[in-house]
Structure formats: C-alpha cells, structure tokens
A and B are shown apart, each in its own frame.
Chain A
Amino acid sequence: MNGFLPGSDSGPGIWAADVRFAEGTMEYKVKIGPEIYTVDAAPLDDSGSTNMVLEGETRAVTVSAVTPNHLHLRVGCRAANLFVARTSEGSWIWLEGRARLVQEAGIVERRKARGLAETTCEVTPPTPASVVRVLVEVGREVVKGQGLVVVSAMKMEMTLVAPYSGTVRAVNTQVGAQVSPGEILVEIDALPEG
C-alpha cells in the first residue's frame, strides 16, 4: 500500500496512502504513544507560515528554525520553543518539560508491514470534511492510487485514493455531503492476486 514498488502495475508517481496531495496539501499521520493524529498541511509560504488542520481544527502555524535542534513555533497566538532530536525511531520533541517521541505513522506502518502482504485500507476522510467531487461510479475499474473522491476541509482539498486496484462496488456519498473519519465513502472489490 505504501510507496511505489518496482514492477507494480500502479506505475510511478503514486504516493503512499498516508500522504495524499490536493493542490499542494499533504496529509500526515503522526503518532505519539498509542495516539495517531492526522494533520493536513498546506505548503509553508516564504515566511514559514501555513494553515494546518489537526483533527478537524485549523491552526495558523509559523515555524522558524533557530538551530537544527531548536524550533520556534507560533500556533495561533501561542508561541512555543520546541527542541528536537532525531533518531531512527522518530523525533524526540521537547516542549515545556514534556519529552515526546513523535513518529510518522506511515513510517511505523511501513516498518511493521515490511516483508508482509499488503494490507487493505479504507477510503475514508482523515478529518470531518465535505465532498467536493466524486470521481468514480459503481462498476468502474480503478488502479491503486487512483483518485476516487475529493473532499474539502477548512479550504483545503484532499483527494482520497484507491488503496488497491479493483472494481468499485459501492459509492456511499455524493457531492456536498458532510463526511467524517470512519465513514467508508467508496468500497472496492480487490482485483484477484497475480
């Protein structure tokens, strides 16, 4: 499900399921302890500012790197100094006495899944959103990574992509619908292996 594998029929340029693009926006799944947080982030502008949507809430974020280990972060009207140390497991982040090992959930999953058969994943929005476009209909054959539904949250669009190749069995949504994480918007019958 992650990366593009040489020889896979999905072709080059298909991004991992945990990072999707819509007009420059990236989705991150970030893990702290048992919790996984989903963040949609538009690219940083020249001043290091952007909007990020964390669990459905939009935050204005400005970042500056003071040193390689020291980030100054402004979130809304709150200023914070973060100290960061990278390891192969993720990044240790220090904030006001709290040290947290922060990991990219996609990387964690990739490590766990390495060498195993690809697992399925569901077509569901990462955050409460409204449906902007539906790109497929029932019976359509799709390839892994193909766009299925475009949703919008806080002025940012995200394209939900096919987690695996197959045939669309059901489309459970329509343009303008308000959708939440966990709702399966498109169901796909997987192509038989081989």
Chain B
Amino acid sequence: MKDCQMFSKILIANRGEIAVRIMRTAQEMGIRTVAVYSEADRQALHVLTADEAVFLGESDPASSYLNVDKIMAAARETGAEAIHPGYGFLAENPAFAERVASEDLVFIGPPAEVMAKLGNKTTARRLMMEHQVPIIPGMTTAAADNSRLSAAADELGYPVLVKAAAGGGGKGMRIVESRDALAEAAEAAASEALASFGDGSIYLEKYLDKPRHVEFQILADAHGNVVHLFERECSIQRRHQKIIEETPSVALTDELRDRMGAAAVAAARAAGYVNAGTVEFLLDGSGEFYFLEVNTRLQVEHPITELTTGLDLVRRQIEIAAGRPLPFAQADVSRRGHAIECRIYAEDPGCGFMPAPGQILFVRAPDGPGIRYDHGVYAGYQVPLQYDPILGKLVVWAEDRPAAVERMIRALKECVILGVKTPIEFLVDVVSSEPFRSGRTHTGFIEENFVQWQPDRVLDDIAVLGFVAREMAGPGFALEENARARADEWLSPWQRLGTWDLGR
C-alpha cells in the first residue's frame, strides 16, 4: 500500500449497526463502501447503506461472515483496497489479518502478530508483567494438571477464577470458592473453552470481589505515536457482557486516571500496537487496578469516547491504516461532559435475557439534544436467529453525569421498538435506580440489584385505555388486519368460504 494515499474503496466484513456506522464515516471521507451479506441479511440495513454489496452465502456464520475465502473473493471482485472487520466475527482473528496482508490489501486494525500476542491471555499477562503494567495476581502460563492448579489456588487464596487462555466474553470462566470445587470447575471451563475457541488451555487468577471494569481507549499510529483517549467504565454487565457503559468513570480521580492512562499507553507500546485498541483493567475498591486484556478492535462502546473527545474513531482507524501519523499528541486530547451508552438487544430481560428474535413491526428513533442512536433496524426487518442479537446502541451526551442520566432516561422512553422483546424498560429501571445514580457500579451490579426484575404494571391502565380507544375509533386507524380477523369471527362458514363452485 502506498503510504498516506487514502483508500478509494473499503470492504466492511461485518453486519448490523457496526457495519452501518463504519460506512457512514467512510462516506464522509469520500471512500466507497462494499457490504457483504448472508442469506438472512439480504435486506439488512448495512446492505442498503453500502455503495456495493456482495452475497457471501448461507446464514450460518461459517458460510458467510466467518468465511475468509468468500470475503477475500468479494474484496478482489469489487476492487476494495482495505477491509474493516468491525467487532466480533473476524475482527480479532490473526489468521484473517495475515491473509488480508498477504493478498496486498490493508487490514484496518492491528498487525496479525500483535493480535496473536494479545489474543492469548497468558502471553499477554507475561508481556504486561515484563513492562511493569500491573496484572491480576495469578498464573502466567496455562496448566492442565490439577496439582499445579491446586497449588496456585492455595497460594492465591480462594475464591479464584478459572479462565480460558484463549477466552473472552465470559466463556470458559468459572468462579471457584473452595478447593474441593476446583477440579470440576477446571474441567468444565476447559471443555467450554475448547468448544468455543478450539483451545482448552486454562489458568487461574485471583478473584476480585465487586471490581469495576474500567478500560482505556488507545490510538497508535505506524510511526510510534501512542495516545490514550481516557477511560470508559463498563461495569454494568449481564452474563459477563456489557450493557451500559459511561465515561468518565466516577471512580477515577485525575491522578488515578493519569496513572491508568500511562499504563494503557505502556501496554500498547509493549505489544507494538498499531491502530485503535482498548486496554481493559479491573479496578478494586481500594483504587488498585489490574490489567485484564487488550481488545484489538473497535469496541461496541466506542461512541461514548467519540462524544466526549469529539474524535471520530473510525476515521482515525482508517487514516492510521493508510499510514498517516496521528495529527495530535496526548496533550491535545481533551474531553468534555459525560456520555452513557445503553446496548439494545433483541432479548427478554424478564426471562434471563434470552435472545428474542423476530420481526420488527415499528421503530421510532429518539432524537433531540445530545442523542446518538447507532442501529441497524427498520420496521419490517426480521432479526435473524443466527447472529448476536444487538439491534442498536443508544448513546447520550450531557454536560455532567446527572444530566446524562436524565437524558438517557428520556432517550430510552423515546426509543420505540415494537415486535421483538428488548431490554429498554429494564434499562430505564437500571439507569433510574439509586445505586446507579450514585455511581455504586461494579461488575456484579445486575445480579446484586436486579436479579428478579420483571416489568411493572404502572402504566398498564393507560395502555388498556389506549387499546380500547383505538378499537372504538375504528376506520380512522386503518384497522386493516384485525378488523378483518374480528369480522371473520362473526361470519358463518358460508360467508367465510368465499366464492366456490359446486362440482369442483
């Protein structure tokens, strides 16, 4: 790739809201976009947004969004010069990054070898330890035999956490409270890790009680410049997956922020990082922080950093990939106000957050001051069964945290999605709650405060009256479907049968 020459066309190897979000910046930069899609996504928003779209294959990910050969063929066929992987799918797959580079295309993300180094948790832990980045006490190599695990656990003191070396997203992870539960938990974690990542190696870490999840956004160019763009607190999680993120974190003083930011930059430098990345830390109640992992991709929650720093992270990613140096230094990066993101999935919060695919019947985007809604849905869209059920991300910015909380509540109440279950009502309750308002957030927040959550009946009376009013109003409301259905109920079979001929 010629240095500093901007791409004229990029392929986005992803789907849904993130593919749409990347395309928007590309369009603003005058770069043509290529979407790829599966059978289930023939009419998905990312396909409708792109300049060109290439069909990959059947809906299962292996035949489509994880199929490297088909994606490479699509890039060649359309003449794309670079590939943005989004998040998930192939975003953190070093073999894919390697393949893209080997075919003389640009991978918009870090180099394959950096990704490989950071993708393995024990390797990353050793690397960070060597560069004075604090890590969670525990093992720095994987172990399979129970005697070694048991000895390490005794040294750390229970409870301990069994983790998959190749892990992520809470898979292959087990909390172990006592020695007699260790062997079984280790075995279960290893088999889950093998099934999820094709690598069953596990190791132990000290289990931290009620830590906060605080991560730092970093940007590194190919010329040795590394900056951080402050933190995001992502403590509100369900099933070890983030659902609410905010910046700044109420738990950080300026002094702690500086130290953690410096550690994040040190971590990026240690790995030889290039492009946008995220250094994740756990922060305990005493203000000690520990390296967790580096996410070598654009994060789902990147918009809150964009709103507070005013930077477009996708633009920065594309420019870095094109070889351009960062146009600013650490001292030039500032932030303002407070931003919160709520993730909106097709899932049922009253039923263990079970995914709830189906057809979207009606949507209405929230708007007004300080609101950003990144989504990939429209009325009539069928939410596929095959993929992560994220529908969109609702992001607000306001001058301070209390104002941002109120704005988020308003935005959620305006964010209409009908036809599939969403956690919007649950999110309103979480954001409105006293523990959230007062900033007492930690990774066990949902389990501690909202474990038996159910929808309330506070406004059901208004819904009932509205329903009846609509029934009564009749033709003015275009009562097409149900009017017919109801009329049918009262027709005789002779009337219902329609026209027919005797003797046929």
Contacts and interface: CB of A to CB of B under 8 A. Distances in A.
Contact of A102 (B464, B485, B492): B464
A53 B463 CA distance: 14
- The secondary structure that dominates the B interface is helix
Given A92-B418, A98-B459, A99-B422, A54 B465 contact: yes
A59 B489 CA distance: 30
B472 A43 contact: yes
Which of B364, B462, B469, B476 is the most central at the interface, judged by chain A CB atoms within 10 Å of its CB? B469
A88 B361 CA distance: 12
B123 to A, nearest CB: 44
A107 B456 CA distance: 24
Contact of B425 (A41, A99, A102): A99
Interface string B389-418: 000000000000000000000001101111
A85 B460 contact: no
A65 B413 contact: no
Contacts of B478: 68
B425 A97 contact: yes
Contact of B472 (A41, A69, A85, A87): A41
Nearest to A31: B464
A187 interface: no
Interface string B417-450: 1110110110010000000000000000000000
B482 interface: yes
Which of B422, B468, B480, B482 is the most central at the interface, judged by chain A CB atoms within 10 Å of its CB? B468
A82 interface: yes
A59 B462 CA distance: 10
Contact of A69 (B362, B456, B459): B362
Contacts of A63: 466, 469-470, 473
Interface in B372-396: none
Interface in B86-132: none
A21 interface: no
Interface in A111-157: none
Contacts of A102: 463-464, 467
A84 B419 CA distance: 10
A61 interface: yes
B336 to A, nearest CB: 28
B467 A44 contact: no
Nearest to A94: B416
Interface in A22-66: 26, 28, 30, 32-33, 35, 37, 39, 41, 43-44, 48, 50, 52, 54-55, 59, 61, 63, 65
A148 to B, nearest CB: 22
B169 interface: no
B493 interface: yes
A107 B486 contact: yes
Contacts of A2: 489
A19 B406 CA distance: 43
Given A91-B470, A94-B416, A39 B459 contact: no
Interface residues of A, number: 53
Interface residues of B, number: 46
B2 interface: no
A191 interface: no
Given A68-B477, A97-B412, A102-B467, A80 B462 contact: yes
Which of B422, B424, B460, B486 is the most central at the interface, judged by chain A CB atoms within 10 Å of its CB? B460
B473 A37 contact: no
Contacts of B493: 6
B362 A41 contact: no
A190 interface: no
B463 A75 contact: no
B463 A32 contact: yes
A55 B422 CA distance: 29
B465 A59 contact: yes
A105 to B, nearest CB: 11
A44 B202 CA distance: 68
A73 interface: yes
B470 A71 contact: yes
A6 B481 CA distance: 24
A28 B419 contact: no
A171 interface: no
Nearest to B477: A65
Nearest to A39: B468
B418 A54 contact: no
B354 to A, nearest CB: 16
Given A65-B476, A98-B455, A107 B489 contact: yes
Given A35-B460, A83-B418, A52 B468 contact: yes
Contacts of A86: 361, 480-482
Contacts of A73: 462, 465-466, 469
A35 B457 CA distance: 10
A37 B255 CA distance: 57
Given A71-B466, A87-B361, 14 more contacts: A5-B492, A37-B460, A52-B465, A63-B466, A68-B477, A75-B465, A85-B418, A86-B481, A92-B418, A93-B466, A96-B459, A97-B425, A99-B422, A107-B486
25 contacts: A2-B489, A26-B472, A28-B471, A37-B461, A41-B468, A44-B473, A55-B461, A63-B466, A63-B473, A71-B470, A80-B459, A80-B462, A82-B466, A83-B364, A84-B466, A85-B361, A86-B361, A86-B480, A86-B482, A88-B481, A94-B362, A95-B466, A97-B412, A100-B463, A102-B464
**Shortest 6 CB-CB contacts between residues of A and residues of B:** A85-B361, A63-B469, A85-B418, A6-B492, A92-B418, A97-B413
